[in-house]
Amino acid sequence: MGFARSGATLMQALGLKASLRALCLPWVFVLILSAHSFAQPVLKKIRLGNSSTNVGFLPLYAAYHKGFYRDEGIDLEIISMSATLASTAVLMGELDYNAASTGVIVAAVRGQPMKMLIFTVARPLSFLMSKKDLKEPRQLKGKKIAGSSPGGTATLLAEKALRHFGLEPGRDVAVLPMAGTNAARLAVLESGVVDASLVSVPENIYALEKGYNELIFLGDIVEFPTTGFGTSEKKIHESPAEILKMIRATLRGLLFITDKSNRDGVLDIIMKQWKVADRKMASEIFNHVSRVLTKDAKVSPEGIQLHIDLARETAKVSRPATVAQVVDFTFLDQVRKDLGIAR
């Protein structure tokens, strides 16, 4: 009987333990899930419009691939759309930021409430590649060159470069507007229809490999800040903390690629983002991009004003616009201070 009582007592104890386990297990799972939630913070979805696949956007994509936006609690979605449409979407609240600086500046000079917040490129990444027998810019007199789209910024910059060498577009040099890709403009040069073509990277590299000459590097002639991003004045007033995070991540991307010790990592990003199979080609691309990057997002007011003036010309806006009306560097200055970067 004693054994029976002991067995019953044991069974009761085991049943009690089983009941306790059944009661505790759900709480254990809750604790595990809670711990996982603390380890994996929820990221805020941010949408940024970008009108171009140009490698000049390397700082942005470096920050993206290195996880700098995620470090700031941001899940960045980069959406491809035209510069103008991206600005419209930002103003409507459908996008948070526009990476196409020209789209932001054109909107601002038209009186729309938008401002650029950061530039990562100081000079135009554009090259006038010419036939093999043309060795210097003044030999373009009486020749034809293929520009970008009619009234496009690249064409306006090329015309400014021609004037720098004493050539008046239209009178001394025929500038043929040509919408389309850089590859198409290189093909026109190869066809012999024009004597020189305005291209960017990597088409300038392909042209050099085929024996064509780099007649003018526009970045040697003018300062013209581009890339980075801007947003609406509404966003500036309502989400200052978010803007600081976006700028900090982007600036970290720029600082990463301008640090020579990170070259191999930068080449990896170029190969991944732009699907460059050959590492030597990736290195050549980076060499050219390095010619136009800002050191730490510092650009000249004169360069910004040139961008504003060309945007007004493109948009046919007669009303003058100043740098203060188009940019807001308050957040950039704060981030630079936080990172110990002197102005």
Cα–Cα distance between 229 and 145 in angstroms, integer? 31
As a whole-number percent, the residues of the chain with pLDDT over 90 amount to 80
Grade residue 32 by pLDDT with cuts at 50, 70 and 90. very low
pLDDT at 35: 46
Q: Are 108 and 115 in contact (CB under 8 A)?
A: yes
Q: What is the pLDDT of residue 149?
A: 78
Q: What is the mean pLDDT of the chain?
A: 89
- pLDDT at position 155 is 87
CATH number for the domain formed by residue range(s) 44-123+225-338:
3.40.190.10
Determine the length of the chain: 343
5 pLDDT band (50/70/90 cuts)?
Answer: very low
Binned at pLDDT 50, 70 and 90, residue 194 comes out as very high
For the residues of 143-173, what is the DSSP string, one character each? -EEE-SSTT-HHHHHHHHHHHHTT--BTTTB
Q: State the average pLDDT over residues 326-330.
A: 97
Q: Is 285 or 343 the better-scoring residue by pLDDT?
A: 285
Query: Residue 53: its pLDDT value, please?
Result: 86
Higher pLDDT, 153 or 182: 182
Q: Which residues contact 220 (CB under 8 A, 6 or more apart)?
A: 123
User: How many CA atoms within 13 Å lie on the side-chain side of 325?
Assistant: 16
Residues of the chain with pLDDT > 70, as a percent, come to 88
Beta bridge partners of 197: 129, 146
Q: What is the tens place of the pLDDT at every residue in 81-100?
A: 999 999 999 999 999 999 99
Give the pLDDT score at 332.
97
Structure tokens at 27: 């709480």
Identify the residue with better confidence: 227 or 10: 227
What topology does CATH give the domain 127-221?
D-Maltodextrin-Binding Protein; domain 2 (3.40.190)
pLDDT at position 300 over 60: yes
Cite the beta strand spans of 168-327 per DSSP E: 174-176, 196-199, 213-217, 229-232
- 62-73: average pLDDT: 98
> What's the confidence (pLDDT) of residue 148?
84
Does residue 73 sit in helix, strand or coil? Answer: coil
335 or 38: which leads in pLDDT: 335
Q: Which has the minimum average pLDDT: 15-19, 125-129, 160-164? A: 15-19
- Encoded tokens for 248: 């900090």
Q: Could you tell me where in the chain the CATH 3.40.190.10 domains are found? A: 44-123+225-338, 127-221
Q: Are strands 229-232 and 114-118 parallel, antiparallel or unpaired?
A: antiparallel
Structure confidence at residue 14 as a pLDDT band (50, 70, 90): very low
- Predicted pLDDT at 4: 40
